[in-house]
Structure 1
Amino acid sequence: MFQHPDMPDFGEDEGDADKCKAWIAAQGLKVCQASLEYHSDEAISERYFEAGDPDCSYWEPDRPDGDGWFCLAIHDTDDGPVCWWARRVVTP
């Protein structure tokens, strides 16, 4: 669906989840996930799941609290679309 242009294309092969986690750590990122299924506006999630249409371009994923978050990826899962929000880890 979407992924940041600097993010490598991790597939679903064995070990890819570990490679993705390692890449995120190497970039100094913290990642949070927002799911369309649990969107703050129930009408949005109902529209997606009742329509049976994979288009979710009308969905504006809930952004985590705080500054510096950007969309790292939006992809489909067995439970519907999820958005990965990321921001740089702040070290004191």
Structure 2
Amino acid sequence: MFQHPDGPDFDEDDGEKCKAWIAEQGLQVKMVELEYHSDQAISDRYFDAGDSDCSYWNPDRPDGEGWFCLSIHDTDNGPDCWWPRREVAWY
């Protein structure tokens, strides 16, 4: 799994702390799950193998500019990737 070196390390039960950190950073976050990868063969490979290795997965980047990978971690539904980008403030 992966975590951006500048990102904090939250425990599973730190959902509110994580949300607060995202808001403080001015980030918009989209989550991409391996289960729904654009290439179904990638998803099938992970779930059919029964192996927790997903190093071959290249998560789909959301449309638009500025997205970067914050983390790839395992969940009850398989690996997911968090793609944040800075929110643009319009004044």
TM-score (norm 2): 0.96
Percent identical pairs in the alignment equals 74
Corresponding residue for 1:10?
Answer: 10
Matched, 1:75 2:85: no
> Distance between the aligned counterparts of 2:35 and 2:12, measured in 1?
22
Cα deviations by residue, 1:1-32 (Å, 9 ceiling, x for unpaired): 1111111110023xx10000000110111000
* Structure 1 gap ranges (5+): none
Say which of 26, 32, 35 aligns to 2:33: 35
Paired residue secondary structure (2:59): coil
Residue type at the aligned position of 1:7: G
1:79 CA displacement: 0.5
* Structure 2 gap ranges (5+): none
Structure 1's consecutive aligned runs of 4 or more residues displaced over 2 angstroms after TM superposition are none
> Distance between the aligned counterparts of 1:91 and 1:12, measured in 2?
30
TM-score (norm 1): 0.95
Paired residue secondary structure (1:74): strand
Residue type at the aligned position of 2:23: A
Corresponding residue for 1:20?
Answer: 18
